[in-house]
Amino acid sequence: MAAPGAPSLRRRDPAGTTRGVVLMLHGGAVTGMRPVDRRSGAYQRSGVMRNSITQALVSQGWAVDLLRFSVKGWNEAPDALPAPVQDARWALAQIRSLYGALPIVLIGHSMGGRTALHVGDDPSVAGVVALAPWCERTDPVEALQGKPLIA
C-alpha cells in the first residue's frame, strides 16, 4: 500500500500473455489537497466500474490498472502540472517499466477524463475513453488526433 498522499496502482493481470493495459482514472474536485484513500467516493465508483469490466478484459489478455490519485483536487497552478496529471504520468511510466511498449487505453471518469485528455499525448496511449469528462476549452486535445477517443 502506498503512503498517504502518494499515488498507487491496483492491478489485475491476465493469466496468459498481456496484449495491452487499461489504465482507469477516477474523478475528483477542482481543488483539494486531502489525500485520496480507499474510502473516497470517486475512487470507489471507479473501483466498481473496474470490477464490472475486468473479467472481460483480462480474458482477452488485457491488464487492468486503477490509479489512486495522490490528492483529491485538480489544483491548477501556473507553475506546475495539475496533481492528477503528474500522477497519471507516473502511472504510465510504471506501466511501461513493467510491460514495455504495449498499448495503453485510458478510461477516465469526470476529472479522470480530463486527466486522460492531458496525458493522451503519451506515445504509449493508444486510445481514450472519457466518461462524463470535466473539460475546459483550453484542455489539450490536439495530441489525440488519430487516436480513438470516446467521450
Dihedral of the alpha carbons of 139, 32, 78, 4, in degrees to the nearest 10: -100
Does residue 3 form part of some domain? Answer: no
Give 74-114 pLDDT, tens digit per residue.
998 888 999 999 999 999 999 999 999 999 999 999 999 99
The CATH number of the domain holding residue 146 is: 3.40.50.1820
Sheet holding 104-109, edge to edge: 8-12, 62-68, 20-25, 104-109, 125-131, 149-150
Does residue 28 form part of some domain? Answer: yes
pTM (two decimals): 0.93
Type of residue found at 41: G
Does residue 134 form part of some domain? Answer: yes
Give 55-75 pLDDT, tens digit per residue.
999 999 999 999 999 999 999
User: Which cell goes with 28?
Assistant: 475528483
Q: How many domains does the chain have?
A: 1
> In terms of residue numbers, what domain contains 51?
8-150
Give 24-45 pLDDT, tens digit per residue.
999 999 999 999 988 888 888 8
Does residue 127 form part of some domain? Answer: yes
Query: Stretch 13-24: mean pLDDT, rounded?
Result: 96
Does residue 1 form part of some domain? Answer: no
Does residue 87 form part of some domain? Answer: yes
- Whole-number CA gyration radius for the chain: 14
DSSP-assigned letters across all residues of 24-48: EE---BSS--SBP-TT-HHHHHHHH
